[in-house]
């Protein structure tokens, strides 16, 4: 467990609606998000006794006083959070999990985010830019222009993302993977991606086929966020069972071992099969 994890009662300072069912939550919690690494997440609990469980969300921005998260309404928890007015107190704990690798000198970094997977890559892009090693490409996608996370944040970083939308309302009409295929991938390139599992499966195939290193941030239903409930398991790939940190293990525990994993470590086809 991360030593700097702690529970806080955060104030929902802004609940911005980007599009129907697509929100940015800005939380005020002094000191809480001080040591967040890109790709790490927090458990955020909707106000009131129901729904019971908190929801895992990756940090989009994090500083001394604030943290922000992108959220898509998919069920009871996100619905309750989408309806919470500014000023609502929210129980949160984090930062949790293992984030993206820090930028490596001499490597060329390509970031790929789809839909609700864009927010953690915004934080990664910010950290890389701050370290003087900005990504060579930032590829982001959404169903439609209004639903795209991180536009303002990337602009502030002076990064110009390559955009794909399902309806062609911004950038190319199609998927982020079509943009990824056009990149100069190969050894020395690090692809870092987050998005829906089918997208990550495609990114995994494209990046590994070209010999690039690839990190994926996955999602799963979580109960606790700290490795106690063992609810968020992801099948380990046949290759990773033989050597490395998951030797002999059938599943990894995503909240502890991830959410960012090396693309060679997970069997996403099996993960899709059981969902």
Partner 1 sequence: MAVDLAVDLNGLKLRNPVLLASGCVGYGHEYQHLVDYAKIGGIVTKSVSPLPRPGNPPPRIWETPAGMLNAIGLENPGIDRFLSEKLPLLNTLPCAVIASVVGGTMDEFADVAAKMDGADKIEALELNISCPNVSHGTDFGRDPAAAETIVKHVRARTKKPILVKMTPEAPDVVAVARAAEKGGAHAITLCNTWRGLAIDVESGRPRIANVTAGYSGPAVRPLALRLTWEVAKAVSIPVIGIGGIATANDALEFLMVGASAVQVGTALFADPAAPEQIVEGLGEFCARKKIDRVASLVKSFRP
Which stretches of the chain bind partner 1, using CB under 8 A? Answer: 1-7, 45, 49-54, 76-77, 91, 93, 220-224, 226-235, 249-251, 271, 274-275
Beta bridge partners of 216: 193, 261
Nearer to partner 1, 53 or 128 (CB): 53
Cα dihedral 152→157→159→165 (10° resolution): -20
Q: Where are the alpha helices (DSSP H) in the chain?
A: 76-83, 118-130, 151-156, 176-181, 197-209, 238-242, 254-257, 268-274
Smallest distance, partner 1 to C-beta of residue 253, A: 9
**Given the complex with partner 1, which of 124 and 271 has the nearer CB atom?**
271
Q: How far is the CB of 219 from partner 1 (least distance, A)?
A: 12
Residue 14 or 79 with smaller CB distance to partner 1: 79
- Complete DSSP assignment for 211-239: T-EEEEE-----SSSSSSS---EEEBPHH
C-beta of residue 262 within 8 angstroms of C-beta of residue 101: no
Q: How far apart are CA 125 and CA 109, in angstroms?
A: 10
Taking the complex as a whole, the smallest distance from the CB of residue 5 to partner 1 amounts, in Å, to 5
Cα separation, 71 vs 24, in Å, equals 6
Whichever of 134 and 227 has its CB closer to partner 1, that residue is 227
In the bound state with partner 1, the residue whose beta carbon lies nearer, of 50 and 184, is 50
Q: How far is the CB of 183 from partner 1 (least distance, A)?
A: 32
How far is residue 135's CA from residue 113's CA, in Å, rounded to a whole number?
Answer: 13
For β-strands 189-194 and 108-114, DSSP reports them as parallel
Q: How far is the CB of 106 from partner 1 (least distance, A)?
A: 36
* Residue (of 227, 213, 229) closest to 258 by Cα position: 227
Minimum distance of partner 1 from residue 54's CB (angstroms): 7
Closer CB to partner 1, residue 123 or residue 256?
Answer: 256
Distance of closest approach, residue 235 Cβ to partner 1, in angstroms: 8
Q: Which pairing describes strands 22-28 and 6-19: parallel, antiparallel, or unpaired? A: antiparallel
Region of 45 (left: φ > 0; alpha: ψ -120 to 50; beta: rest) is: beta
Nearer to partner 1, 26 or 46 (CB): 46
Pairing of strands 162-165, 137-142: parallel
């Amino acid at each position: 467990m991360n030593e700097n994890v702690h529970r806080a009662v955060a104030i929902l300072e802004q609940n911005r609606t980007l599009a129907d069912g697509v929100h940015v939550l800005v939380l005020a919690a002094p000191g809480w998000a001080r040591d967040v690494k890109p790709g790490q997440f927090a458990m955020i609990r909707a106000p009131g006794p129901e729904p019971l469980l908190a929801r895992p969300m990756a940090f989009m921005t994090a500083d001394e006083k604030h943290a922000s998260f992108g959220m898509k309404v998919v069920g009871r928890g996100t619905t309750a959070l989408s309806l919470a007015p500014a000023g609502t107190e929210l129980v949160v704990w984090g930062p949790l999990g293992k984030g993206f690798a820090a930028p490596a000198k001499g490597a060329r970094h390509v970031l790929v985010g789809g839909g609700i997977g864009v927010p953690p890559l915004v934080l990664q892009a910010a950290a890389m830019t701050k370290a003087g090693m900005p990504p060579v490409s930032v590829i982001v996608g959404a169903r439609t222009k209004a639903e795209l996370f991180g536009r303002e944040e990337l602009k502030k970083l002076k990064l110009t993302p390559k955009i794909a939308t399902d309806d062609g309302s911004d950038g190319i009409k199609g998927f982020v993977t079509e943009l990824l295929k056009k990149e100069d991938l190969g050894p020395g390139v690090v692809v870092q991606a987050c998005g829906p599992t089918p997208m990550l499966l495609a990114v995994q195939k494209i990046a590994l086929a070209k010999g690039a290193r690839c990190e994926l941030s996955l999602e799963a239903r979580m109960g606790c966020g700290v490795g106690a409930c063992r609810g968020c398991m992801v099948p380990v790939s046949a290759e990773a069972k033989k050597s490395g940190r998951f030797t002999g293990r059938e599943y990894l525990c995503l909240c502890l071992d991830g959410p960012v994993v090396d693309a060679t470590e997970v069997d996403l086809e099996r993960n899709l099969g059981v969902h």
